[in-house]
Structure 1
């Protein structure tokens, strides 16, 4: 009887992770390749990456007779129907049996091993997702201009805003001024205020400031506010789980590297079981096939 093998794909905006799994869904081999997101590259190049990686992974299979199933979580997959159809057509030129979903949904499946619950993502951006049977829900994820509350970007932006207020005397000086000034290589606050930094650059300020949580009330206040925003996501999407006493909520993203953030969220949500992700998104993607 032919064995079944799986390829799980986590296609983000900067890179694509591929993992080959055996029939018991244990990882055999993994490869990281350039992004296949068509907003960052061409469909032709995406097909080339998929084809080359498939060949490399299949070399790890010793069986001559097998079935290959592919699951992929892709950034931007939910943009519109025409876009999804184009992605499905391109995948169809490389794989016979496959299932596509958004990268966020693959992360949700992986984090909770396919079980019902919530996934809170708080990295450069932020969004909450939930799964109840075949139904899915989302909260937040409206982007950095008007949303992404609780994200590393929002923390970085709040730190800069606080430092600028301290610079012109609207607030008393705190260690935040030093953190921001040092992070931006001691350029003037006027330069900081008028520079067009990337989202990743501003988000990185959150990690720099997290080292001062134990000694700075001002830093704690900003991180507490971020934890509260994350909590609002969880509480809002948790309303869909009517009647359940304990809801599992997985979490992914750099913001959760802060033990202070996790501690605050647990205190704000005593009825939520906050859990570290069980599987990565690339394994989550094969739980749908």
Structure 2
């Protein structure tokens, strides 16, 4: 039997084909299929194209986790409709991107996973029951996410332009990386991004460059990010007997793990064991579809 694991996050969609033993045959990266960033037909077309590349014979079972597949009934129905059109006649299982990330990171064991990519959410698995905290979206929450980091960073830039804060390396880097001739070009720059959360989140890498140069404000943003993460983790940990395992996943950790994890550990204390993710989200999707009889 062949399987395909799909991680559909807010920035990109990763697809991996596996055999019965978890051996990887092929993996591809495609644009995001987040319903807030693409039309329904675009989502269907992207998923179909990827599946055809990995499984032209239509014999694989598919496990997929998609950003946005949460508690909102209307969004769930839209996403379910997209997957139905994209995957028929294959057997497939649909979960949130957070759920497959947790399955992969903890290898199916009890614990908590904090996910910080374009958005952010924390999930806990205990006795086969999944609970969540956070994940309210860019307008209402997603604290600690790449979008949140980028917005904080840009706000500091504006304060530095005003003179409310002293200009630092972060100011210089934003002007350079955003190709700003004038300080106030930042307004038209953001407008050209059409306030797209994925494009704005992609700017968070600038904060990482500034942090490497020892920029005080950039480091403070990472400290605040870790603090926000610690709050959702502690909330979920109330259902556990301490100590509890905590893992992490997402672009924020890929780019700033060396800054955020020490802050996070200090906020959580020694009753929390922070471990590197055991497997990838797409492997978690593979595991979930494999369990389906």
- How does the TM-score come out when normalised to structure 1? 0.81
Any unmatched runs of 5+ in structure 1? 62-66
The reply to whether residue 267 of structure 1 matches residue 262 of structure 2 is no
Greater CA drift, 194-203 or 271-280: 194-203
Runs of 5+ in structure 2 lacking a partner? none
Distance 1:47-1:215 versus aligned 2 partners, 3 A rule: closer
Shift in Å at residue 164 of structure 1? 2.0
1:73 aligns to 2:62 (yes or no): no
Q: 1:90 aligns with which of 85, 88, 98?
A: 85
Q: Which of the two has higher C-alpha Rg? A: 1
Normalising by structure 2, report the TM-score: 0.80
Distance 2:161 2:55 in 1: 59
Could you say what secondary structure the match of 1:188 adopts?
A: coil
Matched, 1:24 2:24: no
Q: What CA distance in whole angstroms lies between the structure 2 residues aligned with 1:124 and 1:278?
A: 21
- Flag the structure with higher helix content: 2
Where 2:205 maps in the other structure, the secondary structure is helix
Could you tell which deviates more after superposition, 146-155 or 85-94? 85-94
Q: Map 1:84-163 onto structure 2 (within 5 A).
A: 85-87=80-82, 89-90=84-85, 93-95=88-90, 97-163=91-157
Q: Deviations over 1:14-35 (max 9, x none)?
A: 6533322222222223344455
Given that 1:77 and 1:83 are in contact with CA atoms closer than 8 Å, whether structure 2 keeps it comes out as no
Shift of 1:170: 2.1
Q: Which runs of 4+ in 1 moved over 4 A?
A: 33-39, 45-56, 58-61
Query: Equivalents in 2 of 1:225, 1:37: separation in Å?
Result: 27
| Map of 2:186 onto structure 1 | 192
